[in-house]
Chains A and B, each alone.
Chain A
């Protein structure tokens, strides 16, 4: 038993190392004076200063945030409505619809991205901001539906009945009773959607237009042209933002089990 316990501990440590060592190395190197990864590390904020004057990265960051914000609003709104519809109503093909929400999670992004690109060109939407927002909404929608539905599982529908018996209309019931109760789930879902959009590369890459890129796309382009520790610096910032988001999610959403 003790042997097993140790094995599992070592296993856990290995996983954590595997996950975090590359990230830690990158963070450390972003503070290194040398461009050539010379060791020992000489402390410097040089690369962060360089970021401050990199206007390409600035506009890409701004684009990323714009797309994330707008697509989050849309997908949270739509996804919550979908989850509510599934919860409240029984209708023909409900099961089928529930399953059909998920392909964005299961189908490779490369394929979805190609499909979107082809489709958007075909119907005349093209590439750029609006195309990317549409793409990101489609991607984050299933996450929103899953998270909000999970919260709805413990919702007592007698609360809605009670509201109606007291004279509340459909919308009053929704916005005074159901939505306030769902709020932690909705916030968690929105943070999820925001993170999904912010981290998205493949689809953004396909839908980026000349003069409109997002941060991950810009980083990729920069790496292809030649790596500078500036990339380490911006990546470090992105990591911290993502971690913050994750903290936000865990504040509102229970990852499995109770905590």
Chain B
């Protein structure tokens, strides 16, 4: 186990900038998610840590030592690929034992370690299966067992769950997290799925166009996004344009709101999460503190535990999540007021 740090990494492919001066510290034994839209440089960063790509600039440390000139096979990493990359000419045992064989471990010692790893991923007894006799989820587990059987210093995963269907993915998320906790290995997990990143990781780094735009714990990033991009990419956000008006913001859709911080630009965007908004029928309004916006219900989506309202406010549709406490539903076309706290009203410059 070891911590990994990347310092000022840059990489260009021709004229595309895949990574732009990325610095980050991956702490020992923690689970990190690298989250970003497709093409944001996640794979490039991961492959660079593994040693498959060399940076144009910057350096990488594993366990406190510079590894810039150490080839992949000497970096002591474990990696799980998007399509598992199991060796098709080898059975499960040979696949999992590959890294051991390379290290000169064979015979009963190899068998013991392979059995241990297979037990960890709950595939005991699958030793003699061929990869094409396994389901997607099982292949995934074999790939994971193969990557950790050599007890590498860091585990790298590139969208390992994206090829699985939804139920299996949720199951594997839990499994992966359990295994990571059991083994205590520093893990870097690449994904474009925000839910995956939120539920699994200790720390999230968000990449956009090759830059690390924000990092922190899931709660921290979710509650305190530093930009409109992050607010919108991680979770959902209602974005309301407005103009700074002293300490307040005058919204384009009407109404003036107080924000968490004082608006520092004349043109701003306010961001409010749908679950931080409460909704009341106009006739029944009994709250007056906090921010308030008037609107009319367009439609609602009922899914048992909660309700989603789409509320027309001016020319904008605002999304509101409500817990199903009363069992009452506000019908479409009702005039409503939306309430939200100033602390939940984040303000960003309008680019």
Contacts and interface: CB of A to CB of B under 8 A. Distances in A.
Contacts of A176: 98, 101
B15 interface: no
A227 interface: no
Interface stretch (A34-42, A49-57, A157-165): A157-165
A165 B150 CA distance: 11
User: Main SS of the interface on chain A?
Assistant: helix
Interface stretch (A11-19, A122-130, A166-174): A166-174
Interface string A227-239: 0000000000000
Contacts of B156: 165
Interface residues of B, number: 27
A180 interface: yes
Contacts of B89: 180-181
Given A164-B72, A167-B102, A169-B73, A177 B78 contact: no
B150 A162 contact: no
Interface in A117-168: 156, 158-159, 161-168
B103 interface: yes
A205 B104 CA distance: 52
Contacts of A169: 73, 102
A165 B79 contact: yes
B85 A168 contact: no
B110 to A, nearest CB: 13
A35 to B, nearest CB: 55
B229 interface: no
A167 B85 contact: no
Contact of B99 (A161, A166, A180, A181): A166
B103 A181 contact: no
Nearest to A177: B87
B321 interface: no
Given A167-B73, A168-B73, A169-B73, A162 B87 contact: yes
Nearest to B76: A167
B77 interface: yes
A73 B156 CA distance: 41
Contact of A165 (B77, B88, B101): B77
B98 A168 contact: yes
Interface residues of A, number: 17
Given A163-B98, A167-B76, A158 B83 contact: yes
B232 to A, nearest CB: 32
Given A165-B78, A166-B98, A167-B150, A158 B85 contact: yes
A168 B102 CA distance: 6
Contacts of A159: 85, 87-88
Given A161-B52, A172-B102, A166 B85 contact: no
B76 A156 contact: no
B81 A167 contact: no
Given A167-B73, A167-B76, A168-B73, A161 B85 contact: yes
B150 to A, nearest CB: 7
20 contacts: A159-B88, A161-B72, A161-B85, A164-B52, A164-B72, A165-B72, A165-B147, A166-B102, A166-B147, A167-B99, A167-B103, A167-B150, A168-B98, A168-B102, A169-B73, A169-B102, A176-B98, A176-B101, A181-B88, A181-B89
Interface of A: 156, 158-159, 161-169, 172, 176-177, 180-181
Given A161-B79, A165-B72, 5 more contacts: A156-B85, A158-B81, A163-B87, A164-B73, A177-B87
